[in-house]
Amino acid sequence: MNRLLAVLFLILPFSLIAAETEVDAPARLAALPIDSGHLANTAVGLVFVLALIIGLAWFLRRFGGLPNSGKGVVAIVGGVSLGTRERAVLLQVGETRLLVGVSPGRIQTLHVLSKEDWAASNEGNNEFEKQLDTVLKEKQL
């Protein structure tokens, strides 16, 4: 009995499909649900979505993602890659800046800068900027 039902359920869908194709074949061919306009709209939409995803990925990679909320005590000022797995990171903790070496198994403080040290280094940059501006102005005259 179970085998008879199984064979019946296997044969029945094929017979329905065959009967449907014989009767409705001309009507279905006259009105295809997918035409060139639908395919073009789908392709344009797909290209637009892919371009949007690629553009957002580039933007996030270029500009570093979301900004820090500023609620933490430690802020990352900057960093540079020193190798495939090593980085030097400049951290600011309150009034102090720390230069830290980061590798997969270790984090080590390389240098500690107080507020006076990095303020003095910024003033030195301003003096250089002033000298550069004067030299450029002299060359323009």
pLDDT confidence of residue 92: 87
Q: Would the pLDDT of 82 be above 70?
A: yes
pLDDT confidence of residue 120: 63
Average pLDDT for residues 98-105, to the nearest whole number?
91
pLDDT confidence of residue 12: 58
Which sequence spans correspond to the domains of the chain?
Answer: 2-61, 74-140
CA distance 122 to 42: 55
How confident is residue 100, by pLDDT bands cut at 50, 70 and 90?
A: very high
pLDDT confidence of residue 27: 60
CB 97 within 8 A of CB 77: yes
Q: Would the pLDDT of 116 be above 60?
A: yes
pTM reported for the whole predicted model: 0.39
Query: Mean pLDDT score of the chain, rounded to an integer?
Result: 75
Q: Tell me the C-alpha to C-alpha distance, in Å, between residue 115 and each of 40, 91, 93, 96, 121.
A: 61, 13, 10, 6, 10
